Chains A and B, each alone.
Chain A
Amino acid sequence: KQEVTQIPAALSVPEGENLVLNCSFTDSAIYNLQWFRQDPGKGLTSLLLIQSSQREQTSGRLNASLDKSSGRSTLYIAASQPGDSATYLCAAPMDSNYQLIWGAGTKLIIKP
């Protein structure tokens, strides 16, 4: 059964630093992998979606990579800002019904 793990559970860095968030999965037979952002008490916002045939996707200061052979995806945030503070979640659908398997998230705090 697919398991998705995000380590660390929390991360605090000074403003301006580049940082990497990690997402590991146990079964490489994923359709795609998605990264989401969640602000406290809010719904989730999709950040990036990487198809299983792709290696990476970029949007602004965000870059997500996917390595199916190692069961790992990373979200790179360049030049971090206090507004980037949020919980970041990754998820992967395992079948055509699109049932997503979720990580527990990494809570990111960017200190001014």
Chain B
Amino acid sequence: DGGITQSPKYLFRKEGQNVTLSCEQNLNHDAMYWYRQDPGQGLRLIYYSQIVNDFQKGDIAEGYSVSREKKESFPLTVTSAQKNPTAFYLCASRKKSSGNTIYFGEGSWLTVV
């Protein structure tokens, strides 16, 4: 079945560690996105990529990094520079044509311990 797979579902990070969240899609979508969701708040865009080997910062990119070496994959690294990383992270993708909807993965919970 086509879809977006995020892993791991739950991740615990120690202070000072970098962690990487995986996002893979087999929908042949061009654009991919990473969002952060905090309780009671709307989704905030971290990074997005419209095409392989290219990506742009969103509203809250500080402390995060991404890569887009393959069309199917858009991993997000939460670095030690991100001071408040505990959140729910959502990956999404979209076919780059006017009006197409955006599809989401099931999300990854990151907790700092």
Q: Which residues of A contact B (CB under 8 A)?
A: 4, 9, 31-32, 34, 36, 41-46, 49, 51, 89, 91, 97-105
Pick from A32, A91, A105: contact of B99, CB under 8 Å? A32
Pick from A98, A101, A103, A105: contact of B102, CB under 8 Å? A98
Q: Complex formed: what's the CA distance from A4 to B43 in Å?
A: 11
Q: Complex formed: what's the CA distance from A12 to B107 in Å?
A: 26
Summed over the interface, the residue pairs from A and B with CB atoms below 8 Å come to a total of 56
For the complex, count residues of B whose C-beta is within 8 A of A: 27
| Nearest chain A CB to B105 CB, angstrom units | 5
Q: A49-B101, A98-B102 are in contact. Are A44 and B90 (CB under 8 A)?
A: yes
Contact of B106 with A43 in the complex, beta carbons under 8 Å: yes
**B8 close to chain A: CB less than 8 A:** no
Contact of A104 with B41 in the complex, beta carbons under 8 Å: yes
B42 proximity list for chain A (CB < 8 A):
4, 89, 91, 101-105
Instruction: Mark B42-78 against chain A: 1 for CB-CB distance below 8 A, else 0.
Output: 1111001010000010100000000000000000000
Q: Complex formed: what's the CA distance from A97 to B90 in Å?
A: 18
Q: Complex formed: what's the CA distance from A102 to B42 in Å?
A: 5
**B40 close to chain A: CB less than 8 A:** yes
Instruction: Mark B72-112 against chain A: 1 for CB-CB distance below 8 A, else 0.
Output: 00000000000000001010101000110111111101000
Provide a sorted-by-A list of 20 A–B residue pairs whose CB atoms are within 8 angstroms: A9-B40, A31-B99, A32-B99, A34-B101, A43-B105, A43-B106, A44-B92, A46-B103, A49-B99, A49-B101, A51-B99, A89-B42, A89-B43, A91-B43, A98-B48, A98-B102, A100-B102, A102-B42, A102-B43, A104-B41
